[in-house]
């Protein structure tokens, strides 16, 4: 009887110990969820169990959901041969550098997704960088590389994320064999794979670089007139294209472009032309439900920088309830929808270097091969 009692006591203590460990693990996971990505990047180096926990695909994406969207400024300091990735902390212009300056070849940012930057250079090479953790990965060279540049609308890349499959994909758009054609070719690289895949050619050459919104890549196509333009949409899960018409409007002014604001696709319409510099910008937002209803959300007065300067907003982003607009190469402006004024106000002094602005989430998404293999399985 005594022996049975002792055995029962040992089992009870073992169960109690396991419950205690499980409780500690749950508490630790919750603590990890509340820490910023920059801190977690250091925590991964503490021990193997923490590394395993903090690179688990489920944890990584749950942490992403809790992360706040910020603004990232990316600039090339050519004088010192380095690239700088900085995050704008608030609308007073305070910035801090995420990682040490890295050697560059005049890199530029195609776009940002889930804390990863899709970088390019003049050779057509594509590199992914997580500036929070410092990890990077160079992709195989695309099948077509000629003419790649920071401003090219005929040869560009876009990093996107498919929520259903949890896969990151890089999409490469480029013109067909005849540069005067309206056909655009497309190839896709799934992160974790070994090569690019051609998915065909489609009618409608891009007029500007596209934008990634909720598992799809959108870009504008222009025919003879702006009003006859279309919006092409590539679904990253099915890898099929769809076409949307521009919303009815009395005038489409001098320039249109696409942006992602508040997690939705937006159409930016700038009024003006070469003889009449643009003075206003309307922002129309697509209803994420039926994909056919557009709502006029904002009307913004643009500043008169130079009487003879014809410019369009290079990047328009949404951050902390405000709309941020980059004008020219070194000027960042801010619009507060809660204020009575429709004017854009300068957010920070003119930058020392030309820069590009991107929405950004600090994340611990790893750029290791075993992570993507584990995620796919």
Per DSSP, the residues of 112-150 read EETTEEEEE-TT--EEEEETTTTEEEEPPPPS--TT--T
The rounded distance, in Å, linking the Cα atoms of 349 and 8 is 72
pTM of the shown model? 0.80
Host domain of residue 23: 2-58
pLDDT tens by residue, 35-82: 988 889 888 888 888 888 888 888 998 898 888 888 887 877 666 666
Identify the residue with better confidence: 65 or 224: 65
33 in any annotated domain: yes
Cα–Cα nearest to 87, from 73, 77, 107: 73
pLDDT over threshold 70, residue 314? no
Res 113: pLDDT: 93
40 in any annotated domain: yes
Cα–Cα nearest to 203, from 238, 230, 237, 226: 230
What is the pLDDT averaged over residues 252-272? 81
pLDDT tens by residue, 327-373: 776 778 888 888 888 888 877 777 777 778 888 888 889 886 555 54
- Domain end marker among 37, 58, 79: 58
Measured in degrees and rounded to the nearest 5, phi and psi for residue 60 equal: -60, -45
pLDDT over threshold 50, residue 310? no
Q: Give how many domains the chain has, as a whole number.
A: 2
Res 243: pLDDT: 87
Res 306: pLDDT: 47
Identify the residue with better confidence: 235 or 133: 235
The rounded distance, in Å, linking the Cα atoms of 183 and 199 is 13
User: Using alpha carbons only, what angle is made at residue 83 by residues 80 and 89, rounded to the nearest 5 degrees?
Assistant: 120
pLDDT over threshold 80, residue 290? no
Poorest-pLDDT segment among 150-159, 279-288, 292-301: 150-159
184 in any annotated domain: no
- Of the pLDDT bands very low, low, confident and very high (cuts 50, 70, 90), residue 190 is very high
pLDDT over threshold 60, residue 224? no
What is the pLDDT averaged over residues 183-188? 86
235 in any annotated domain: no
């Amino acid at each position: 009887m005594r022996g049975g009692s002792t055995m029962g006591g040992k089992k009870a203590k073992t169960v109690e110990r396991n419950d205690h460990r499980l409780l500690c693990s749950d508490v630790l996971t919750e603590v990890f969820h509340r820490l910023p990505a920059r801190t977690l990047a250091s925590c991964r180096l503490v021990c193997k169990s923490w590394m395993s926990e903090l690179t688990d695909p489920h944890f990584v994406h749950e942490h992403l959901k809790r992360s706040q969207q910020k603004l990232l400024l990316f600039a090339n300091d050519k004088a010192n041969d380095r690239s700088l990735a900085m995050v704008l902390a608030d609308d007073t212009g305070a910035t801090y550098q995420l990682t040490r300056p890295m050697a560059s070849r005049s890199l530029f940012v195609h776009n940002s997704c889930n804390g990863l930057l899709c970088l390019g250079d003049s050779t057509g090479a594509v590199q992914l960088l997580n500036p929070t953790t410092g990890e990077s990965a160079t992709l195989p060279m695309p099948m077509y590389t000629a003419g790649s540049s920071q401003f090219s609308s005929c040869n560009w890349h876009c990093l996107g994320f498919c929520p259903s499959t949890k896969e990151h994909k890089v999409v490469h758009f480029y013109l067909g064999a005849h540069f005067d054609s309206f056909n655009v070719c497309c190839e896709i690289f799934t992160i974790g794979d070994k090569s690019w895949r051609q998915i065909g050619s489609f009618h409608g050459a891009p007029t500007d670089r596209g934008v990634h919104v909720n598992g799809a890549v959108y870009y504008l196509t222009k025919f003879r007139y702006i009003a006859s333009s279309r919006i092409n949409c590539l679904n990253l899960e099915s890898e099929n294209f769809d076409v949307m018409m521009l919303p009815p409007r009395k005038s489409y002014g001098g320039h249109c472009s696409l942006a992602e604001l508040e997690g939705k696709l937006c159409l930016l319409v700038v009024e003006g032309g070469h003889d009449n510099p643009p003075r206003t910008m309307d922002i129309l937002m697509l209803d994420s439900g039926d994909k056919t209803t557009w709502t006029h959300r904002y009307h913004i007065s643009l500043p008169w920088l130079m009487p003879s300067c014809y410019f369009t907003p290079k990047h328009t982003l949404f951050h902390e309830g405000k709309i941020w607009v980059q004008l020219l190469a070194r000027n960042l402006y801010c619009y507060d929808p809660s204020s009575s004024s429709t004017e854009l106000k300068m957010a920070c002094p003119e930058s020392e270097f030309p820069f590009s602005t991107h929405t950004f989430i600090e994340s611990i998404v790893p750029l290791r091969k075993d992570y993507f293999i584990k995620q796919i399985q």
